């Protein structure tokens, strides 16, 4: 009687346990086989279910920068893209500049953006062909920035000041060498309102001349830019290109302002950074690059004659522009739309040119809203005229 009761209890307990063999196949090298088919509702669910889809990850410029900073190896191709704005500031007490002699500084404002295809409504999703679609898009599309947000001042930016108040001319030669100009990163931040205040007009007192007035900076041009590392078979051939294509002013509105400042519709330059630890020159000892940049870009202890590495190196990581005081070399290589494509390669120049043309529909008010809202006066210089 006791045995019968124990046997019945074991049978009831077994009935309550899940029959794993009926729900999962046996390993391929096993002799175990399901003892009974799975329930119909489970089989139907498995037939109707679709494989999980993969989503395209959208990186912010900061996330993209952090990820690429962690990758020590040089990355060929587009390493950054965004919108570029050219500003000039008139000399003190010069409210109505009329030529280059009345200009105090020329600035390039770079505002990085994620690639347009990563935020577009028709961006490739997670089908089996998504990776192929992304490869097709990468032919030039990786250089095109997403549309700038309006009335949003929280954006990462870099202000670069040109040393000679003009951009180097791709058609100019000095002693057979291409024109090369110095530039300096003068401001880096994440709030364009702070930049607006710094570039606004100022009134101050001096001991010798009394009250002085510093006119506000004026917008001379706006467009898209891209930083591209070339495919280099040798380390000595590594080059970083900086190229831009303008959307404003329109070609018909180009005037003496853009001509005097050396601003053309499209252009490409070789961009190099000076080693802040190298001796001689105008080295800014206050710039402290992380060791990853010193070791992998300048080749500290392994390249060049100086133990600190090369004195100049391609600006192969966009994070190199995020340090105030960094000294840059802009070497003019090619001008015009064809020169832009030749430098950036793989359709990037053509895509950047098309992006600039598409943005021509933006009004001057919208451009100001990209930067710091609708406040402020519309600068006359954007039409190409000084006054």
* Residue 252 predicted with pLDDT over 80: yes
* Residue 289 predicted with pLDDT over 70: yes
Q: Give the pLDDT of residue 175.
A: 58
In a domain, 26, yes or no: no
The tokens of 282 are what?
């105008």
Are 271 and 227 a contacting pair, CB within 8 Å? Answer: yes
Sign of the four-CA dihedral 304, 309, 312, 318:
positive
In a domain, 199, yes or no: yes
Concatenate the DSSP letters of all residues of 310-338 into one string.
-SEEE--SGGGGSSTT-EEEEEEEEEHHH
In a domain, 198, yes or no: yes
Q: Give the pLDDT of residue 219.
A: 94
Q: Which long-range contacts (CB under 8 A, 24 or more apart) does 50-57 make?
A: 53/125, 53/126, 53/127, 54/126, 54/130, 55/125, 55/126, 56/118, 56/123, 56/124, 56/125, 56/126, 56/130, 56/134
Give the integer Cα–Cα distance in Å for 111 and 145: 10
Q: Give the pLDDT of residue 56.
A: 55
* Residue 3 predicted with pLDDT over 60: no
For the ranges 2-16, 171-185, 213-227, 276-290, the one whose mean pLDDT is highest = 213-227
Which has more pLDDT, 59 or 265?
265
Mean pLDDT of the chain: 80
Q: What domain count does the chain have?
A: 1
In a domain, 17, yes or no: no
Give the integer Cα–Cα distance in Å for 74 and 191: 29
Q: Give the pLDDT of residue 24.
A: 37
The tokens of 385 are what?
């005229």
Using DSSP's 3-state secondary structure scheme, residue 291 falls into: helix
Element (H, E) at 161: strand 157-162
Give the integer Cα–Cα distance in Å for 237 and 85: 30
Are 213 and 363 a contacting pair, CB within 8 Å? Answer: no
Give the integer Cα–Cα distance in Å for 375 and 387: 20
In a domain, 334, yes or no: yes
| Nearest by Cα to 264 from 282, 291, 243, 295 | 243
The residues facing 245 across adjacent strands are 224, 266
Q: Give the pLDDT of residue 41.
A: 42
What are the pLDDT digits (tens) for 146-179?
Answer: 999 999 999 999 999 999 999 998 877 665 678 8
The residues facing 324 across adjacent strands are none
* Residue 70 predicted with pLDDT over 50: yes
The number of beta carbons lying within 10 Å of the beta carbon of residue 83 is 26
In a domain, 51, yes or no: no
Provide the domain limits for residue 102: 62-383
* Residue 198 predicted with pLDDT over 80: yes
* Residue 298 predicted with pLDDT over 80: yes
Give the integer Cα–Cα distance in Å for 98 and 91: 11
In a domain, 370, yes or no: yes
Q: Give the pLDDT of residue 207.
A: 77
* Residue 186 predicted with pLDDT over 80: yes
Residue 8's pLDDT band, with cuts at 50, 70 and 90, is low
The number of beta carbons lying within 10 Å of the beta carbon of residue 306 is 16
Q: Give the pLDDT of residue 9.
A: 52
Give the integer Cα–Cα distance in Å for 110 and 80: 10
This prediction has a pTM of 0.77
In a domain, 56, yes or no: no
List the single range of 1-15, 28-42, 117-131 with lowest mean pLDDT.
28-42
For the chain, what is the radius of gyration of the CA atoms?
A: 30
List the single range of 53-57, 102-106, 330-334 with lowest mean pLDDT.
53-57
The residues facing 157 across adjacent strands are 189
Q: Where are the alpha helices (H) located in the chain, listed in sequence order?
A: 2-16, 40-48, 61-70, 116-119, 130-137, 192-199, 256-261, 291-296, 336-344, 348-358, 364-372
Are 326 and 312 a contacting pair, CB within 8 Å? Answer: no
**Residue with structure tokens 């970083």?**
240
Residue 120's pLDDT band, with cuts at 50, 70 and 90, is low
The tokens of 58 are what?
């959208």
- CA 371 to chain CA centroid, nearest Å: 16
Give the integer Cα–Cα distance in Å for 343 and 269: 8
| Nearest by Cα to 234 from 74, 71, 66 | 74
* Residue 251 predicted with pLDDT over 70: yes
């Amino acid at each position: 009687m006791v045995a019968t009761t124990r046997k019945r209890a074991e049978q009831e307990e077994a009935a309550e346990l899940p029959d794993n063999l009926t729900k999962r196949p046996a390993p391929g090298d096993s002799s175990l086989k399901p003892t009974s088919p799975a329930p119909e509702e489970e089989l139907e669910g498995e037939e109707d279910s679709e494989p999980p889809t993969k989503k395209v990850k959208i990186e912010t410029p900061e996330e993209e920068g952090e990820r690429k900073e962690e990758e020590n190896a040089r990355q060929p191709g587009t390493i950054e893209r965004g919108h570029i704005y050219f500003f000039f500031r008139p000399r003190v007490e010069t409210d109505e500049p009329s030529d280059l002699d009345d200009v105090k500084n020329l600035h390039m404002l770079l505002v990085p953006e994620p690639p347009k295809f990563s935020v577009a409504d028709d961006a490739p999703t997670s089908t089996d062909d998504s990776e192929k679609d992304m490869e097709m898009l990468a032919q030039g599309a990786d250089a095109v920035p997403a549309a700038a947000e309006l009335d949003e001042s929280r954006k990462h930016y870099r202000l670069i000041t040109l040393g000679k108040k003009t951009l180097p001319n791709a058609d100019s030669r000095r002693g057979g060498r291409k024109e090369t100009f110095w530039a300096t990163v003068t401001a880096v931040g994440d709030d364009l309102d702070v930049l607006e205040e710094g570039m606004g007009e100022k009134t101050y007192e001096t001991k010798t001349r009394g009250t002085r007035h510093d006119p506000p900076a004026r917008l001379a041009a706006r467009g898209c830019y891209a930083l591209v590392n070339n495919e280099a078979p040798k380390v000595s051939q590594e080059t970083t290109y900086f190229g831009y294509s303008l959307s404003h002013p329109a070609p018909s509105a180009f005037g003496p302002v853009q001509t005097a400042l050396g601003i053309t519709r499209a252009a490409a330059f070789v961009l190099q950074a000076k080693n802040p630890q190298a001796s001689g020159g105008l080295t800014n000892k206050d710039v402290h690059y992380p060791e990853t940049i010193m070791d992998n870009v300048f080749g500290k202890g392994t390249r060049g004659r100086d133990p600190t590495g090369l004195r100049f190196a391609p600006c192969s990581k966009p994070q190199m522009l995020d340090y105030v005081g960094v000294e840059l070399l802009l070497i003019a290589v090619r001008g015009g739309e064809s020169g832009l494509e030749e430098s950036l390669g793989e359709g990037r120049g053509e895509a950047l040119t098309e992006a600039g043309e598409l943005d021509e529909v933006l009004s001057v008010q919208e451009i100001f809203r990209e930067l710091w809202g609708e406040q402020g006066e519309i600068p006359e210089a954007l039409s190409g005229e000084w006054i």
